[in-house]
Chain A
């Protein structure tokens, strides 16, 4: 029975010119999204790899210099373009991709793509992520909105219900018909992006990093699309008129895609206000002067350090020290200032986490947001992955500081031979286990929505009467 209804529905769908036009449009948009994503990935990954090499090469070939001054020459730590940025670039455009590594200064991530973009970018970047999160659900709703209501509007429901088929079979037949179209698009996305991943990633990286994350992403996409289709078909059954069904489904889409995320964003900023740059600078400046535990002014602490160092080397005068005192001071305050900055950045991260949690909680009202969050976390283009990169880049900066200061204590000039001992920065986004654990909340919310959609489906087909 279900198969018969599925076959009939597909015949009807494929013979409806409106559906065929929509299908054509959606395939064009999908192709455009794939092209945009690939072009973004190719441009950025190439540029970042090249820039990383060039700035490091300049650093290690800067010639003879005072080690500290040489360290200030610095170089960039680049965040490699995410392996799956071809399909989802998440918040990459807004967070920037490089961190300048030089002494005393905790880097601020620079080169935000969005700063070079035109106003058109505010509408979003059309890649597969955008397509699946925003456009595909709309297409699903347009396909599903009259799948049942047409039976009442055309008067065929009585003929259907007087047959041997029961409401569950009728519902499943129609659901599977809509799902066939939707899954057809998902399969096209999967196949095309799979080919692109293979062509753009080396085999080892593809199997070890991309494939598991890609499989998870597809599982999430299938779950999300199925859930959206179930909601669409159920609403069509419950409303019984195509217009009302379309109004409800497009309203749900509009509120879920545009209004609620923005409302939640504004609310999170009001409830957990972000520290301004000025406040951040003022706070950290004061703490740097007096230390995290208010250990005293920098001058007092420098004097105490001098006394401890002279006592360590059993000398009475700074000139008698067997090592240079300046690098010892630098290392001491690097460590002290580091604690200040760690604490300040941790506070910023904690506040961001609170804002994120509030926004993510609103996904209980909008599944679009839950899938977007899931998509970003699985593709490692989310804020937490970015923070992971930033903390590893900062750790690398400090490691360089220690190497340079240790050298500086005994040498006043550093040549290329020394600079070459300073390690290059390399970052790889965390693996699939970490990503899944990072996406637990959004997975849980998506499963919650799936339970809701299933409940709605059962409720709807029990209401199937003339």
Chain B
């Protein structure tokens, strides 16, 4: 579903992404670990078509992103670290807006259902987003991904700052989506979450993918050691 071929991004003399190769199959959750500046967000930004690659190619469902940016956007949903919504609109109005932008025209009842599936309480749906907590905003972000019926989900530090309960709820939803065949590329610092949620785990450093591991084949302790070793080598 998602494929990167020798993906490279340079900002002036700085190489943010260096010959990245990875493949994420249908229903897989690929967790990208790495310290700040490792190239996780750059990878996501290239897949989303926000920035062009300096060389190499990114594919979504077989379509090259740069060449088919409009078509590939239909297939993806994006949830950033902080889901920034329009504060003067309600959660429902935000969802209605983004579903409309995705070309869907759902009834209010259907949209409410998506909100509830994403874990947002019905009583909060019509309140202005300015009164929402970070967790509630993340849920609206998930609802947006649900209404889009996205085939691929890009998550950039999605659980950062969430309380354990909200974080666990979030993980459950991603797993449900994975079971429905949605492929996920998630950038995170959270090793435990990567181990529990990911099908595969990548460790990035200075733009390069240092490890590409199957989650089932690595223990949490090994993962922690590998991660620390990589980071230490370059301190």
Contact = CB atoms under 8 A, between A and B. Distances in A.
A13 to B, nearest CB: 9
A244 interface: no
B157 to A, nearest CB: 13
Interface string B64-97: 0000001001101110101111111100010001
Interface stretch (B43-51, B181-189, B203-211, B224-232): B43-51
Contacts of B48: 158, 161-162
Interface stretch (A163-171, A319-327, A334-342, A440-448): A163-171
Contact of A8 (B49, B51, B97): B97
Contact of A164 (B73, B78, B82, B144): B73
A198 interface: no
B103 interface: yes
Interface string A382-410: 00000000000000000000000000000
B84 A159 contact: yes
A453 B137 CA distance: 37
Contacts of A159: 78, 80, 83-85, 98, 141, 144
Contacts of B51: 465-466
B83 A11 contact: no
B102 interface: yes
Nearest to B128: A15
Contact of B101 (A12, A16, A165): A165
A465 B82 CA distance: 19
A162 B72 CA distance: 10
B102 A164 contact: yes
A12 B78 contact: no
Nearest to B156: A158
Nearest to A153: B84
Contact of B84 (A1, A156, A465): A156
B100 interface: yes
A161 B47 CA distance: 12
Nearest to A166: B70
Given A158-B80, A465-B51, A164 B70 contact: yes
Contacts of A8: 86, 89, 93, 97
Interface residues of B, number: 29
Given A159-B83, A159-B98, A15 B50 contact: no
A154 interface: yes
Nearest to A16: B88
Interface in A144-163: 154-156, 158-163
A8 B95 CA distance: 11
A456 to B, nearest CB: 23
Contacts of A162: 48, 50, 73, 76-78
Looking at A1, A162, A466, the one whose CB has the most chain B CB atoms below 10 A away is A162
B86 A156 contact: yes
A143 to B, nearest CB: 15
Interface string A160-197: 11111110000000000000000000000000000000
Contacts of A1: 100-101
A390 B77 CA distance: 71
A155 B50 contact: no
Contacts of B73: 162-164
A156 B88 contact: no
A254 interface: no
A176 to B, nearest CB: 15
A458 B77 CA distance: 27
Given A163-B102, A164-B102, A156 B85 contact: yes
Contact of B88 (A5, A11, A155, A161): A11
Interface string B19-56: 00000000000000000000000000100111100000
Given A8-B86, A154-B87, A155-B82, A164 B103 contact: yes
B50 A465 contact: yes
6 contacts: A5-B101, A8-B89, A8-B93, A8-B97, A159-B141, A162-B73
Interface of A: 1, 4-5, 8, 11-12, 15-16, 154-156, 158-166, 465-466
Given A1-B101, A156-B85, 12 more contacts: A4-B97, A4-B100, A11-B88, A12-B89, A15-B89, A16-B88, A154-B86, A158-B50, A158-B84, A164-B73, A164-B74, A466-B50
The 9 tightest CB contacts between A and B, nearest first, are A155-B84, A163-B101, A15-B88, A466-B50, A162-B78, A4-B100, A156-B84, A8-B97, A165-B101
